[in-house]
Amino acid sequence: MAAPTQLAASVSFLPGNLSARVVGDSVDFAYVHRHTARVAQATVKKGAAADAQFGEQNVIHSQGGGALEAVLQVSWVSLADGSADLLVVCTVAGVAFYNGPRLLLEHKLARDDKDMVFCRGACHVRGRHACIGTSFGGVLIFAIESDRVALERTEVEHQAALCALSAAPWDASADPVWRMASADENGAVVVWDADALRPLHIIPGESFPCTSLQLLDDRIAAGFANGCLRFFRISTRQKYAEVAAHARQILALALATGSDQSQVFVPKLINAAKVIWTLEILTFFCSADYNHFSLSLMLQLASVSEDSRIHVWRLLGDHVALKYSGTVPDCIPCGVVFCSTDVLAISCYDSKQLAFVAV
């Protein structure tokens, strides 16, 4: 019997409705279908003819069928020490943690008759902690020890429901400082010290929800409901770039990571005239302001939107350039992941097909 070439169920219309755990050519896709969280194992063919064949597909979490039992998001959370990959399921009831098919913890939020409560947004931080966003503006901080997950505390810094969280090392040292960012429905972004798990400062919003976030060392990439893609420096708290990326709201962002990223060597020389020489692989910046050599990575950021467009952006320092632009016909993409640095997987609303795009 031939391996299936599509998902077992269609994808719900939810921001960020696709997450992936990538090991070589094997990818475990996680997505939401109505009141269930599902995982589909696939072998992805990379290169210009990108495609996938699906293997085992399972329902990991089911909430029943009621309106108060909806699943809102499912995410792979890889602990920073590399010891485990947990599946985090955010729901209207609360949040659940799975290690494979085994339920480690289901934490339910307190509910009253006046307000709808839910969890949305998940990320791991340095050590063995996971942070989960909530509808009341709080971040739930869970400590993870072996197969035990426990709520450590709750930090409330937002005035609106959270939409997204992201965390990353500040630098590439052997013992880096970590930062985390959380975004809400008012467009505010809070920057956190992810080591102490305490808020540092807030970047005010402009009333448009910030639907998606990615942290890139000292930078934050934020996608908004008005279609704008904004970039902030954590150290200066300032916006350094803004792109009118899409005609409708941005539903997901994905950052290319891995050892096969294009490396960009940046030699910096005393008393040299400023020269910019760009090639496909190497970009040299010679500037009078520096007197040492440094190495940085050219990162790739993908964005998808209700306008059906898929964009891939090249990021180097404060420079943002469009690398790829395309569309999936008759599709509203609501999730995107990198299967490698040159292959994207895109989930589409009400479709069992994942679209694979070589960029």
Per-residue model confidence (pLDDT) at position 113: 54
Render 234-286 in DSSP notation, one character per residue.
Answer: TTTTEEEEEEE--SS-EEEEEE--STTSPEEEEE--TTPPPEEEE-SS-EEEE
3 state SS of 59: strand
1 sits in which H/E element: none
| C-alpha span between 179 and 148 (Å, rounded) | 24
Distance of CA 250 to the CA centre of its chain: 13
pLDDT for the residue 106: 95
Gap between the Cα atoms of 142 and 139, Å rounded: 10
DSSP class of 292: S
- The Cα 11–Cα 321 span in angstroms is 30
Torsion angle of the four alpha carbons 164, 71, 228, 340, in this order, in degrees rounded to the nearest 10: 80
- How many C-beta neighbours within 10 Å does residue 121 have? 27
Q: What is the DSSP-derived secondary structure letter of residue 246?
A: -
As given in the structure block, the two tokens for residue 226 are 């008005």
How far apart are the C-alpha atoms of 316 and 40, rounded to whole Å? Answer: 34
pLDDT of residue 257: 62
Q: What pLDDT score does 188 carry?
A: 96
For residue 319, give the 3-state DSSP assignment: strand
- Three-point CA angle 55, 56, 57, nearest 5°: 115
For residues 41 and 63, the answer to whether their CB atoms sit within 8 Å is no
User: Are residues 314 and 321 in contact, defined by beta-carbon separation less than 8 angstroms?
Assistant: yes
Rounded to an integer, what distance in angstroms lies between the CA atom of residue 83 and that of residue 78?
8
Name the nearest CA neighbour of 160 among 193, 192, 182.
Answer: 182
Tens digits of pLDDT across the chain (359 residues): 345 679 999 999 999 999 999 988 899 999 999 999 999 999 998 777 778 899 999 999 997 766 667 899 999 998 766 667 899 999 999 999 999 999 999 999 987 655 678 999 999 987 789 999 999 999 999 999 878 999 999 999 999 999 999 998 877 666 778 899 999 999 999 999 988 889 999 999 988 999 999 998 889 999 999 999 999 999 888 999 999 999 999 999 999 964 333 333 333 333 333 333 333 333 333 333 333 333 345 789 999 999 999 999 999 888 999 999 999 888 999 999 999 988 999 999 999 999 999 98
Separation of alpha carbons 166 and 213, rounded Å: 6
CA distance 247 to 249: 7
Encoded tokens for 215: 């942290």
